[in-house]
Amino acid sequence: MAESQNLQGETLLYLTDEQLRQGIEAMFFAYRGFTDDPDRILAGLSYGRAHHRALHFINCAPGTTVNNLLSILGVTKQSLNRVLRTLVEDGLVESRVGRNDKRERHLYLTEAGAALERDLSDAQRARMRAAYRQAGPEAVAGFRKVLEAMMDPDMRRAYQKLREGRG
């Protein structure tokens, strides 16, 4: 029994190129499924995934600064400003001048923005919940470890900081 577990562990440590290719393909198809539901909602509003990501992270950290959002999303300032301008004009995000530093802009979801973010996330949570239930707790823990191991160190720190902020 112990020997078969050891062999199974070794197989996982020494994956073939074919096994890695299959994992990459599975990730592409899973990501497509994960984004399909929100994409349908966003398309009806003439928004894209950048709008969704902005809403998501503003919701996770109300009052976050534009610079912090730039860092998390890894997009250009011009690109983010385009997205934020649309969200502010459409009444989904509120931008407030910083109290200590007037150059900073702090971002908050409005009631309408929070409702849209909830609709988008509910669709993804339902998909994740079903997949997690089917896979089981050990697979869920392993999946999170794999995702965290794939993150660049800076992104892993940002992810951990975000998780800590939610307690």
Is residue 50 scored above 80 in pLDDT? yes
Report whether 69 contacts 76 (CB < 8 A): no
CATH architecture assigned to 48-133: Orthogonal Bundle (1.10)
* pLDDT tier, 14 (very low <50, low <70, confident <90, very high otherwise): confident
Tell me the pLDDT tens digit for each residue of 82-131.
Answer: 999 999 999 999 999 877 877 889 999 999 999 999 999 999 999 999 99
Neighbours of 81 (CB within 10 A): 13
CA–CA dist 141, 157 (Å, integer): 19
CA–CA dist 50, 87 (Å, integer): 11
Is residue 53 scored above 70 in pLDDT? yes
Q: Where are the domains of the chain?
A: 48-133, 136-167
